Structure 1
């Protein structure tokens, strides 16, 4: 091989495989796992190009293991629209789920990787004006579990209503609860009734199994309420638990919906 051929940039995975040595597949796993540095900086793209002058190192604690699909929860801010697509676009994942917006109270022990921002499935998306708990997962099984119509998970909502003098009347407030708790036929489907309670003079808590998009708005309209805000607090056994708006965390291995 002549000098010009040696200086031609090559794929990082090929360079690492020859350097370790190991198979090309193993080299790709090391790189995607965040265990490889080029000139001291972590590079997680196996197809990245490196030249002979660059120093490639493998972390001494590198583990050869396949990437495990992750699930995370995000506190969606009100007014943020989630695209109607099978997967969250990578550019939005990079913006919404950036390392700087990861919840400092995350106790999952998961080491963040760029690969975690690819092929994320939105689960039970919220409408643009709503806020609260959103789930993204790389595991289709998690999505099936959360959206299983035969065994629907309970969604807990905090509903803020606009100021209405009529709500100062105890009878009117009780009538609202009665309306919210009635059997619901929504979009041609019979749905479980909501459990509702007043948390304050202008705040309601709703617990509904298998909530569909638009269902909370429909219930409020049927009860004669004008909404000022809707926030999902919990999906099954997973709640926001102090997660600030705009921040996210990984779902720990022991957590279940």
Structure 2
């Protein structure tokens, strides 16, 4: 006769191992074993005959800040806003894409994911540094105060006069632009430094001088640079890092 399967978290509560709330956290942290094998998938099911144990904590979730901030090297095709077309960056927030150099010891639980904001957006096809934070105050500061740096690759000819024209715009869609500076890096590459705001006007600037924007990559926000973080990887912001 086949034994009935019940949710692992429910069985842990029945055995008095933890509370219902704690069960899901312990499972996600990889601290639960079933018959000696680690089970870290929420919704897993077990029989009443299987041996369930909880390993001693090697790190404490309570040692990390109440509101954490991540940086992600967003690949093309992933949307920075929930309402935008394309795959969501939420799909990358898992242990598979966590950078090996992240030594914070912090943990990321699925129940925390809806609380992240991406205050400095990127177009779906743009790549590079995306900041994801649970800190509302930091989100507001990032959206209004901090300098951003981009690299643009383009097709076409760009004269000195055309570059000067790109730097002369003061409004975009009737909205005043904050100060920005565009410099040439090579025949087909530009460097853009702008003060806060999202970079939606960059494709329009390229179109203005009849060059085609091929790709856009953000490499820095404030004092935080993308550096060597691999594409699609993310890491927690360390305690000594400031924008």
Q: TM-score when scaled to structure 1?
A: 0.74
Instruction: Report 1:7-156 matches (<5 A).
Output: 9-39=5-35, 40-43=37-40, 45=42, 48-61=44-57, 65=61, 68-78=66-76, 80-82=77-79, 84-85=81-82, 93-94=90-91, 96-111=92-107, 113-115=109-111, 117=113, 119-147=115-143, 149=144, 152-156=145-149
Shift of 1:193: 2.4
Equivalent of 1:158, from 151, 176, 179?
151
- Consecutive unaligned residues of structure 1, counting only runs of 5 or more, are 1-6
Shift of 1:229: 2.0
8 Å Cα contact 1:71-1:137 kept in structure 2:
yes
Shift of 1:58: 0.9
Report the RMSD for the aligned CA atoms in angstroms: 3.5
2:231 corresponds to which residue?
A: 245
8 Å Cα contact 1:153-1:235 kept in structure 2:
yes
Shift of 1:98: 4.2
8 Å Cα contact 2:79-2:89 kept in structure 1:
no
Alpha carbons of structure 1 residues 240 and 59: separation in structure 2 relative to 1, 3 Å: same
Alpha carbons of structure 1 residues 247 and 42: separation in structure 2 relative to 1, 3 Å: same
Q: Pick the structure with greater CA Rg.
A: 1
Q: Over residues 39-97 of structure 1, what are the superposed CA-to-partner deviations in whole Å (9 max), with x where a residue is unaligned?
A: 3223353x64432112211112266655854432222223x141742699998634x34
Shift of 1:196: 2.2
Q: TM-score when scaled to structure 2?
A: 0.77
CA separation in 2, counterparts of 1:34 and 1:91?
25
CA separation in 1, counterparts of 2:227 and 2:60?
34
Bigger mean CA deviation after superposition, 220-229 or 109-118: 109-118
CA separation in 2, counterparts of 1:124 and 1:9?
45
For this pair of structures, how many residues does the alignment match? 239
